[in-house]
Structure 1
Amino acid sequence: MTTAERGTSDMLPADVTNLLSAVVEALDIPLPSIEDTDERKYYRLLERRAMDVRISLWSLLRHPDHPDLHHDAAYIRTCTAEQPVTYTPFDSGRTGGEGR
């Protein structure tokens, strides 16, 4: 954890940090290989995951009197797990993470 991340998590309530982490995990997917089919799969996956995040956040804003951030984070994580990366990530040939 970087100093900036540590500072943010110290300032935000745990349930907010949990929700924001779920959003980042859902949207942080590896770049696709240069194959057209992989690129299409990448954009479709990103679109689906962004829609799930939007639904969760829309619901939270629609019902501000009954926030359940842990439930919203769990919903996002469940949707993310149901939509895994099915394309070949880009590999630059360098050491480090794929597609990052």
Structure 2
Amino acid sequence: MSRLTDLPGEVTSLVAAIVEALDLPLPSIEDGDERKHYRVQEKRVQDVTIGLSMLLRYANEMPIAEAADYVRDWTKRHPATYTPFDITQAEGKR
């Protein structure tokens, strides 16, 4: 990973993993997509919280890179399976 900040590389990697996990596209305006978006977001927030809690609790035994890997692995388990919002479709429904 390239240097994004002046933080140590493993910290930058962890922050990037968290941003990637929580940066979900907005859901479409179709029935059910908002609920699906919420569920994915909820699961990812839980996973990030668990990863960070483990890092804080086991700071002397758990490398930061392992916490970043945990967040990335669990993010893959909860993909955004809903239809993302498309402004061109929304404009046509006015």
Unmatched tracts of structure 2, length 5 or more = 89-94
Identity among equivalent positions (%) equals 51
**Cα drift, residue 35 of structure 1:** 2.1
Give, in angstroms, the shift of residue 64 of structure 1.
Answer: 2.1
Partner of 1:62: 57
- Shift of the alpha carbon at 1:85? 0.8
Runs of 4+ in 1 over 2 A off after TM superposition: none
Matched residues in 1 for 2:43 and 2:84: separation?
Answer: 18
Task: Report deviation, 1:36.
Answer: 3.4
Q: Which residue of 2 aligns with 1:16?
A: 11
Match of 2:29 in 1: 34
Tell me the distance in 1 between the aligned counterparts of 2:32 and 2:58: 39
CA displacement at 1:65 relative to structure 2: 1.7
Instruction: Tell me the CA shift for residue 48 of structure 1.
Output: 0.1
List per-residue Cα deviations over 1:35-57 (Å, max 9, x = no partner): 23000000000000000000000
Aligned residues: 87
RMSD of Structure 2 on Structure 1 (CA):
1.7
Report the 3-state secondary structure (helix = DSSP H, G, I; strand = E; otherwise coil) of the residue aligned with 1:32: coil
Q: For 1:64 and 1:72, how far apart are their aligned partners in 2?
A: 10
**CA displacement at 1:82 relative to structure 2:** 1.3
Deviation readout 1:49-95 (Å, 9 max, x if unpaired): 000000000011111222311111111111111111110000012xx
Partner of 1:51: 46
